Chains A and B, each alone.
Chain A
Amino acid sequence: MIGRLWGTGTALLVASIILLSFFNYEIPTPLVYLTALAFFGGAGVFIFTRGLTIYVIKRCLGAVFVMWVIATLTFVLLRTLPGGPFDSEKALPPEILENLAKKYKLNEPLINQYGDYMYNLLQGDLGQSYKYINRGITSIIAESLPNSIQLGVYALIISYMIGIPMGILAGWKRGSWVDFSSMMVAMSGQSLPSFLIAPIFIMVFAKQLGWLEPALWEGPTYYIIPMVVLGIRPAAVIARLTRASVLEVIHSDYIRTARAKGLDQKTVLFKHVLRNSLIPVLSLSGPLAAAILTGSFVIEQIFAIPGIAKHLVLSVTNRDYPLILGTTLLFSLILVVANLVTDLLIAIVDPRVKMG
Chain B
Amino acid sequence: MGASKTTGRSLQHEAWIALRKNKVAMVSGFLIIFVCAVALLAPWISPYPFDEQYLDQVLAGPSERHWFGTDSLGRDMLSRLIYGARISMAVGVITAFVSLIIGTAYGALAGWFGGWTDSALMRIIDILDSIPSIILLILVKLVFEAADIIGNPELKALTSMLLALSLVSWVSLARVVRGQVLQVKQMSYVEAARSMGASQLRMVAQHILPNILGPVIVLLTFQIPSNILAESFLSFLGLGLQPPYSSWGVLANDGWRSMSSYPHLMITPGVAIFVAMLAFNLLGDGLRDAFDPQMRGRA
A80 to B270, CA, bound (A): 36
Return chain A residues, CB-CB under 8 Å to B273: 191-193, 196
A183 to B289, CA, bound (A): 14
Q: Which residue of B131, B146, B233, B285 is within 8 Å of A193 (Cβ)?
A: B233
Q: Is residue A203 within 8 Å, beta carbon to beta carbon, of the partner chain?
A: yes
**Quick check: A66 and B135 within 8 Å, CB to CB?**
no
Q: Which residue of A188, A198, A203, A312 is within 8 Å of B135 (Cβ)?
A: A312
A337 to B260, CA, bound (A): 42
A177 to B17, CA, bound (A): 24
**Quick check: B130 and A192 within 8 Å, CB to CB?**
no
Q: Which residue of A66, A175, A190, A193 is within 8 Å of B236 (Cβ)?
A: A193
**Quick check: A191 and B274 within 8 Å, CB to CB?**
yes
Q: Is residue B237 within 8 Å, beta carbon to beta carbon, of the partner chain?
A: yes
**Quick check: A294 and B134 within 8 Å, CB to CB?**
yes
Q: Is residue A195 within 8 Å, beta carbon to beta carbon, of the partner chain?
A: yes
Return chain B residues, CB-CB under 8 Å to A135: none
User: Given A69-B127, A191-B225, A251-B294, are A78 and B139 neighbors across the interface (CB < 8 Å)?
Assistant: yes
Give, as a whole number of angstroms, the nearest-CB distance from B196 to chain A: 33
**Quick check: A195 and B256 within 8 Å, CB to CB?**
yes
**Quick check: B278 and A193 within 8 Å, CB to CB?**
no
Q: Is residue A247 within 8 Å, beta carbon to beta carbon, of the partner chain?
A: yes
Interface residues of A, count at CB 8 A: 49
Return chain B residues, CB-CB under 8 Å to A332: 130-132
A203 to B266, CA, bound (A): 13
A332 to B131, CA, bound (A): 5
Return chain A residues, CB-CB under 8 Å to B225: 190-191
**Quick check: A188 and B126 within 8 Å, CB to CB?**
no
Return chain B residues, CB-CB under 8 Å to A62: 126
A198 to B236, CA, bound (A): 13
A187 to B279, CA, bound (A): 9
**Quick check: A313 and B134 within 8 Å, CB to CB?**
yes
User: Given A195-B236, A312-B134, are A77 and B139 neighbors across the interface (CB < 8 Å)?
Assistant: yes
**Quick check: A81 and B146 within 8 Å, CB to CB?**
yes
Q: Is residue B204 within 8 Å, beta carbon to beta carbon, of the partner chain?
A: no
**Quick check: A70 and B277 within 8 Å, CB to CB?**
no
B159-205 interface with A by 8 A CB criterion: none
Q: Which residue of B259, B274, B295 is within 8 Å of A247 (Cβ)?
A: B295
A210-256 interface with B by 8 A CB criterion: 240, 247-248, 251
Return chain B residues, CB-CB under 8 Å to A336: 130
**Quick check: B130 and A199 within 8 Å, CB to CB?**
no
**Quick check: B281 and A190 within 8 Å, CB to CB?**
yes
User: Given A62-B126, A290-B133, are A187 and B278 neighbors across the interface (CB < 8 Å)?
Assistant: yes
A336 to B126, CA, bound (A): 9
A120 to B146, CA, bound (A): 30
Q: Is residue B26 within 8 Å, beta carbon to beta carbon, of the partner chain?
A: no
Q: Is residue A117 within 8 Å, beta carbon to beta carbon, of the partner chain?
A: no
A70 to B133, CA, bound (A): 12
User: Given A82-B146, A193-B232, are A316 and B135 neighbors across the interface (CB < 8 Å)?
Assistant: yes
Q: Is residue A282 within 8 Å, beta carbon to beta carbon, of the partner chain?
A: no
User: Given A80-B143, A187-B281, are A335 and B130 neighbors across the interface (CB < 8 Å)?
Assistant: yes
Q: Is residue B149 within 8 Å, beta carbon to beta carbon, of the partner chain?
A: no
**Quick check: A193 and B135 within 8 Å, CB to CB?**
no
B132, B138, B232, B233 pick with most chain A CB within 10 angstroms: B132
**Quick check: B253 and A188 within 8 Å, CB to CB?**
no
Q: Is residue B212 within 8 Å, beta carbon to beta carbon, of the partner chain?
A: no
Q: Is residue A105 within 8 Å, beta carbon to beta carbon, of the partner chain?
A: no
Return chain A residues, CB-CB under 8 Å to B129: 290, 335, 339
Give, as a whole number of angstroms, the nearest-CB distance from A225 to chain B: 14
Q: Show 30 A/B contacts (Cβ-Cβ < 8 Å), sorted by A.
A: A66-B126, A66-B127, A70-B127, A70-B131, A73-B131, A77-B139, A78-B139, A81-B142, A175-B298, A187-B285, A190-B281, A191-B277, A192-B277, A193-B252, A195-B256, A196-B273, A199-B256, A199-B266, A248-B294, A251-B294, A294-B133, A294-B134, A298-B236, A312-B132, A316-B135, A316-B142, A324-B135, A327-B135, A332-B130, A339-B130
Give A contacts to B, CB under 8 Å: 62, 66-67, 69-70, 73-74, 77-78, 80-82, 174-175, 183, 187-188, 190-193, 195-196, 198-200, 203, 207, 240, 247-248, 251, 290, 293-294, 297-298, 309, 312-313, 316, 324, 327-328, 331-332, 335-336, 339
Known: A187-B285, A193-B249, A313-B134. 13 other contacts (CB 8 A): A70-B130, A77-B139, A190-B281, A191-B225, A191-B278, A195-B236, A196-B270, A207-B260, A247-B295, A251-B294, A290-B132, A309-B134, A339-B130
Give B contacts to A, CB under 8 Å: 126-127, 129-135, 138-140, 142-143, 146, 225, 229, 232-233, 236-237, 249, 252-253, 256, 259-260, 266, 270, 273-274, 277-278, 281-282, 285, 294-295, 298-299
